[in-house]
Amino acid sequence: MIKRLSGLVVVIFGVLLLTFLLIHVVPGDPVEVMLGDSATQADRSQLRIELGLERPLAQQFAIYLTKITHGDFGQSIHTKTPIANLIKTHYPATLKLATLALLIALTIGIPLGIYAALKADQWQDLVVTLVSVRLSAMPAFWLGPILMLVFAVYFGWFPVSGMESNTSIILPALTLGLGLSAILTRMTRTSLLEVLNDDYIRTARAKGLSESTVILRHALRAALLPIITIVGLQMGSLLAGTVITETIFSWDGIGRLLVESIEKRDYPVTQACVLVVAFSYVLVNQVTDLVYRLADPRVKG
Amino acid sequence: MHLNPDLIDLHAILSVPSEHYWLGADDLGRSLLARLLRGVEVSFLVAITVTTVTMCIGVLVGVIAGFYGGKVDWLLMQVTDIFLAFPGILLAIAFAAVLGPGIINLMIALCLTGWVSYARLTRGQTLSLRNRQHVQASESLGAKVPRLIAFHILPLLTSILVVEATYSIASVIIAEASLSFLGLGIQAPNASWGAMLRDGVRYMLVAPHYVLVVGFSLMSLILAINLGGDYLRAALNVQADA
């Protein structure tokens, strides 16, 4: 446990170091790049002092760490808004989107995977596999536009973009969730089929339990274990996928904030967005690990 | 049929597929087919370069970590874990953003972040190969470390790396398209699938064929490469979760 915790500390420190270094990777003078040619000499030296760029690198990092631990992300170069406030307004939107996407993925993926496993090698299984293989090869910037064309433009059921209406969240959440559901379907199918040949399933059947009890109470419990890990790992691509999806659907979350900050060369905001998303992912991974430990009595330590 | 990807034809702006423009034309009246072909050239150039570089770095790191173990292993794996803490292509987006747009910077950003999966994979494999009898036998006969790695460990890693590289070409193509979609990759007027998708989305309401043609091509390409990977995995008898 202590070893794991120390590993976690190193990872968090490394993530902070890497995001801190981002601004120093900028070729040439970052202040010049951020402010552009039209800025006056006074503006430049003011920003340089604001960002502390004139200090030695190690000292800059120490100051960065102190600020972050106090929840101070600095301020946006262009709007001068504290970045912490920007994060506070944008993060919940991303969280909402990612959560709904995960729910969609779970409610579609797992039942469909069970269905495919029960109908293994029949035509229903084939159809499910064909669809899910294709769906998992669809990146967000291709699935998103299709959903938008079909459900927003052609049928007009949902708004094309924005987040004003209550149903605005549906299409971006589907864009994020469907790809994950395809992966979950395939995983559930494979791992359920593996389990169904085990001795204890035969025993359960021999005891005269109904087929649904055998599947739901005995087989699924063991089959879902690897799914937990997959969901945890896939949360990473889900979080990264929000960047593209939010841009397509004009969903005002962290991803869109990130893209906008890149376009405006507002690097402190870029830095903060990357940091927040990476921290969320680290947290998700820790929780996944914990859930896995609780769910599988064999894993200890 | 027009096959010049940079030829602008103002009469053909956003036109649907026709005799001269088999897949239609884009917002500047350029042939979509020609631009797709030019774009896929660039995609493969990026994908093959990035895959080669990341594989070399990753395998080197992984072999060293797995072979030496102990503190070296711990240190290298901590570094890998830090990179893995950034989800998906987020770190590549961040690097590409600060490095500035352009194909070279795009490749640098993808290389900086792509080696990690190879390092993990190679380390795990090396750890188990390290204790195989043929390695130990050679070691006891006095073989030096570079020889052990080059002749006794790397050859056994070939098939798993070939499979991994195939999937990685598909994922680099997606990553390149994502970055270009966000305006961070290949710049206009050069053709790239990601930038075409972005323009396609922009003109989606007036010319839906644009985004559909590009998106469908991308999906088919990814699917084809991944199925190729599945085939190779089966043919080379590589375990799915190895």
Q: Tens of pLDDT along B69-114?
A: 889 999 999 999 899 888 878 888 888 888 888 889 899 999 998 9
- Cβ contact A278–B177 (<8 Å): no
- Cβ contact A278–B226 (<8 Å): no
Q: Does B191 touch chain A (CB under 8 A)?
A: no
For residue B189, say if its preceding peptide bond is cis, omega within 30 degrees of 0.
yes
Residue of A nearest to B201 (CA): A145
Length, in residues, of chain A = 301
* C-alpha closest to that of A186 among A133, A138, A126, A121: A133
Inter-helix orientation angle A267-295/A220-249, to 10°: 170
Asked if residues A72 and A52 have their Cβ atoms less than 8 Å apart, the reply is no
Say yes or no to pLDDT of B2 above 80.
no
State the nearest Cα–Cα gap between B141 and chain A, in angstroms.
37
Q: Tens of pLDDT along B126-157?
A: 988 888 898 889 888 988 888 888 899 899 99
Please identify which residue in the block is written with the tokens 């999806």. Answer: A245
Task: For residue A258, give every residue at least 6 positions away whose Cβ sits within 8 Å of its Cβ, in sequence order, or none.
Answer: A243, A269, A270, A273, A274, A277, B93
Per-residue pLDDT tens, chain A, 301 aa: give them: 677 778 888 889 999 999 988 888 887 778 878 887 777 888 888 888 878 787 888 888 888 888 888 888 888 888 888 999 999 999 999 999 999 999 999 999 999 998 998 888 899 999 998 888 888 888 888 888 888 888 888 888 888 877 777 788 889 999 999 988 998 998 889 888 888 888 888 888 888 888 888 888 788 888 888 888 888 888 888 888 889 899 888 899 999 999 999 888 888 899 999 999 999 988 888 888 888 888 777 765 4
Q: How far apart are CA A24 and CA B179, in angstroms?
A: 21
- Cβ contact A27–B99 (<8 Å): yes
Please identify which residue in the block is written with the tokens 């409610």. Answer: A107
- Cβ contact B219–A26 (<8 Å): no
Sort out which chain A residues have CB atoms less than 8 A from B100's CB and list them.
26-27, 33
| Prediction ipTM score | 0.83
Task: Give pLDDT, residue B240.
Answer: 56
Three-state SS letters, A25-87: HCCCCHHHHHHCCCCCHHHHHHHHHHHCCCCCHHHHHHHHHHHHHCCCCCECCCCCCEHHHHH
